[in-house]
Amino acid sequence: MTELETSEITNEEKVVETVDDLILLAQNYLPAPSLNIVRKAYEFSEKAHAGQIRRSGEPYISHPLGVAAILAELKLDMPTLVAALLHDTVEDTSVTLEEIDKIFGVLISRLVDGVTKISRIKFRNTHEKQGENIRKMIVAMGKDVRVVLVKLADRLHNMRTLSHMPPSKQALIAQETLDIYSPLASRLGINTMKIELEDLSFRYSQPTAYYELAQKVAKKKKEREKYIGDVKKILFAEISKRTQVQVEVQGRPKHLFSIYKKMQTRNISYEQVYDILAFRACVQTVQECYEILGIVHTLWKPIPGRFKDFIAMPKKNNYQSLHTTVIGPGAERIEIQIRTFDMHQVAERGIAAHWAYKESDDDDSDAKDAGDSSQAQKFNWLRDLVAMHQQTNSSDEFLENIKSDLFESEIYVFTPKGEVKEFPDGATPIDFAFSVHTDVGTHLVAARVNGKLVTLKHRLKNGDTVEIMTSKSQQPSKDWLKFCVTTKAKSKIRAHVKAEQRKKALILGRELVEKSLRKIGTSPNRLFTGPEYEKLIKELGCSDQDDLFVKVGFGTVTAQNIIEKLQPQGIPPSLEKENEENFLQKAFKAAVQRTKKTSSLIRVDGMDDVLVRFARCCTPIPGDSIVGYITLGRGIIIHRADCSKAFEMDQGRRIDVEWNTNYPKTSSGRLVRIRVVGEDVPGLLKDMSEVFTSHGVNIHNAQVRTTKDLKAICSFDVLIRDTQQLAEIMTGLSKLKGVIGVTRVAHSTL
């Protein structure tokens, strides 16, 4: 069960077309001096964006104005509105942060910098760019939560105007919104924003499914409105008869994406979704909440297992409410949520509801500068995200952790002392141990759940009592990453594993260097001094001698390379022929030697004669962003850059690879699995086969099954030349009559 969700197919945001409209919206809670600064920021932004036009044909200033309006509806303070108006000036105009600092103060410039995209940095792929963008946002949010509020409003306004973008861009932006921004809005408790982001993303990522569902929902609108009115009357009358509590009762259907998720999760049709209506009763006190709950359960029979008390155990986003599902009038299942008016404000506006506007003569004062960081402390998960940033070097790894952290659904377990702890569904004793303390997690050896010994990969359930046993000699294992789910546990385990790998690389690297130097009659202390040495470590990105040894141990640089740089004339011929390779170099050389001298599909460091294997977990094809990992005896394993399995591998073995553009186009292609969901109608399989045939694609294997709700699920293993051919085939399949959705299966065994 989730917070009350509305089902409005069209947006009902207040229309803000001019700065006067924005001022009118903000004057309900901001004083006149603050409104003057907001107007000044608008005028500055309008001048900076002069001449710029959006794809819709509107002046560009309409976008920052729309973003500021969204935040004004949430009653955010003056610095937030000003940052919203200025958030694109640094990225898209000649305005600098120094100018913003000088005119509007350091606080505003920090907010703008936190929101500004880092488009001027070059990344290996768009996935890495997205990861680095999110990383910067999370770090800035740790300092001032208003940064992410502006970013969310920026994304929401872009989603509202997404119809002006090409369909291919619409789908990509919508998916990114579902992956990151909507869950982030949910975690910050901004329910109104989360709902609109989800429905808009659903509309653009799966338009066919969206409009079909919208049509079905619209058909029963009048019938649904009458039922809602009847339930409200019954509930209000019963409460008035039994108590003097002042109550406000509301009822609405759940929003489209929520209904769609339920259909997909349960594999049912719209007609089989019974609990699409939700009612809310708001009262003044917590005591009255429980009083109303008793009346509801007396009036209608509750469904066992569908009651949740988020008042006693609030969610991570501070959401509080009582949830119960009952058999209402006409034997209909209805969800009823009971909360105080204050809780309702938090449920709708999230962290924005906690925001206390503070008047200050000095915009740069510490009181305002921190963005009231104490507010952010109420959202404990934020601290974990910031900590994860500090311990994660890879942007891809960071992005993957963010996604898993944001999408979690919660369970509640107890410590032996009765303290309640909240975890994502699927959490294990490892997650529990690290939540107590890093040292407890590091030295974890065993766990008891409800008094019984369990394995470390045991999945915890709601209500479990967990006891942890530790040993000082125990250290985290890399295998723990396979069955822990929390960001904190993963980041701490990875940090420990990397530290251990660094120690081993340091020892190995020092041995290799010292052995090589002994053969030319010198030592690190004698050779590693002077300007040439300082220049070398700077070029290699090392801070000291240990860093240099580590690079040698990992195979990033060889001892021979170092000697050549520092003493080019003094290397005996015997040393040049010496095979002084570490395990990574040996693996790489073996990969080169074991392949024939012919063109390869993959190039490694400019060479196309390297033995490579393609990972089965993600089945990369030409055109995909890829990374390589060196293995012993099996050559270079190629993964897609966004493959989750790749994030679990030793990053010291990672190597840059690229597709060989000179590879013959006559190649038969690589196996890819495509899943098609459609209606179970005659002739559909024949039509799909013709799409493959028309593109010259051979079907290697096909599996078809039907569901109870007359849906056909087809999986095709096909030989695909590259991503362009894959896109053409998927587009052709999606256009067939009766096809509901087409997806590429990311993780399959082909």
The domain segmentation of the chain, as residue ranges, is 19-188, 217-351, 380-490, 494-571, 585-659, 670-744
Kindly name the residue from 13, 46, 58, 92 that is annotated as catalytic. 92
| pLDDT at residue 295, rounded to an integer | 92
| pLDDT at residue 67, rounded to an integer | 93
Write b or e for each residue in 302-336: b if 16 or more Cβ atoms lie within 10 A of its Cβ, otherwise e. Answer: beeeeebbbbeebbbbbbbbbbbbbebeeeeebbb
Domain spanning 380-490: which superfamily? Beta-grasp domain (3.10.20.30)
| pLDDT at residue 138, rounded to an integer | 57
Residues with pLDDT less than 50, the chain? 1-13, 118-125, 356-378, 389, 404, 407, 574-581, 583, 593-599, 748-750
What is each CA distance from 419 to 21, 416, 422, 467, in whole angstroms?
49, 7, 10, 12
| pLDDT at residue 619, rounded to an integer | 86
Contacts of 569 (CB under 8 A, 6+ apart): none
**β-strands 626-630, 636-640: how paired?**
antiparallel
719, 697 Cβ separation under 8 angstroms: yes
Place of tokens 């959202």: 379
Q: Among candidates 669, 587, 666, 675, which has minimal Cα distance to 634? A: 587
Sheet (strand 670-679) strand order: 699-706, 711-720, 670-679, 739-744
CATH of domain 670-744: 3.30.70.260
3-state secondary structure of 316: coil
C-alpha 57/C-alpha 93 separation (Å) is 18
196, 156 Cβ separation under 8 angstroms: yes
Kindly name the residue from 13, 46, 58, 91 that is annotated as catalytic. 91
CA angle 258/66/147 to nearest 5° reads: 75
DSSP letters, 591-618, are HHHTS-SS--SEEETTBS---EEE-TTT
C-alpha 136/C-alpha 124 separation (Å) is 17
Task: Phi first, then psi: give them for residue 484, nearest 5 degrees.
Answer: -120, 155
| pLDDT at residue 35, rounded to an integer | 93
Question: Is 8 considered catalytic here?
Answer: no
602, 662 Cβ separation under 8 angstroms: no
Q: Is CATH 1.10.3430.10 the right assignment for the domain spanning 19-188? A: no
C-alpha 618/C-alpha 631 separation (Å) is 18
670-744 shares the fold of 380-490:
no
Question: Is 91 considered catalytic here?
Answer: yes
pLDDT in tens, 26-35: 998 899 999 9
pLDDT in tens, 119-129: 333 344 455 55
Domain spanning 217-351: which superfamily? Beta Polymerase, domain 2 (3.30.460.10)
